[in-house]
Amino acid sequence: MKETSVYDCTILELHKHHNDQKGNLTVVQSDETVPFQVKRVYYLYDVPGGEDRGSHAHKNLKQLIVAASGSFSVTLDDGKVKRTFMLNRPYQGLLVAPGIWRDLYDFSSGAICLVLASELYDADDYIRDYDSFLEYKEVHP
Ligand code: TYD
């Protein structure tokens, strides 16, 4: 696997089709807007105030994380450097490289965290223990 750091993760500005009367529309296209083929979409919602999500890394999965509604914070960690992003615009997406630990928190009431993912669900792709993640990054920096 390619080495990854938090600097491989970035905010993508997604095109907003704006109509004064009818509102907005944002589209994400596989291999175009995002640098991977989108194989799976899931979303987090009804996250109670004060609850955290994430707290894991993926070995191979690439993701685009969008605050489709409301806001939340994401801290990314490559084992050496942490970067925190506050997502609160439906026309921005956080591109997350493989091999990055992520914590999602500070969900606003009604927040929807939309995730576009490069692979189908695979429980074996998860690293859920932080010490195991640090060991994994020693081998796959
Ligand atoms: P998890 O990825 O741990 O959620 P989070 O990181 O947001 O806290 O997933 C929560 C549960 O949902 C877990 O039991 C696995 C299941 N799940 C699927 O079955 N398919 C999926 O695509 C995802 C993302 C999760």
Q: Ligand 1 center to residue 126 CA distance, Å?
A: 10
Q: CA–CA separation, 137 vs 21, rounded Å?
A: 50
Question: What are the Cα distances from residue 121, in Å, to 17, 72, 76, 124, 126?
Answer: 31, 23, 21, 9, 10
The pLDDT tens digits of the residues spanning 11-20 come to: 999 999 999 9
Claim: this prediction has a pTM higher than 0.75: yes
For the four alpha carbons of 10, 68, 109 and 51, in that order, the dihedral sign comes to negative
Residue 48 has pLDDT above 60, yes or no: yes
Which residue's CA lies nearest to atom 6 of ligand 1? 54
- Residues known to be catalytic: 56
Q: Ligand 1 center to residue 18 CA distance, Å?
A: 33
Question: What are the Cα distances from residue 114, in Å, to 94, 130, 132?
Answer: 11, 24, 27
Residue 8 has pLDDT above 80, yes or no: yes
Q: Ligand 1 center to residue 90 CA distance, Å?
A: 22
The pLDDT tens digits of the residues spanning 81-139 come to: 999 999 999 999 999 999 999 999 999 999 999 999 999 999 999 999 999 999 999 99
The pLDDT confidence band at residue 39, using thresholds 50, 70 and 90, is: very high
Ligand 1 proximal residues by C-beta, below 6 Å: 40, 42, 44, 53-54, 56, 121
Which residue's CA lies nearest to atom 19 of ligand 1? 121
Tell how strand 112-117 and strand 63-69 pair up.
antiparallel
Report pLDDT for 141: 67
The pLDDT tens digits of the residues spanning 26-36 come to: 999 999 999 99
Report pLDDT for 140: 80
Quickly tell me which residue has 């609160």 as its tokens: 88
Q: Whole-number mean pLDDT of the chain?
A: 96
Question: What are the Cα distances from residue 76, in Å, to 31, 37, 44, 65?
Answer: 23, 22, 18, 12
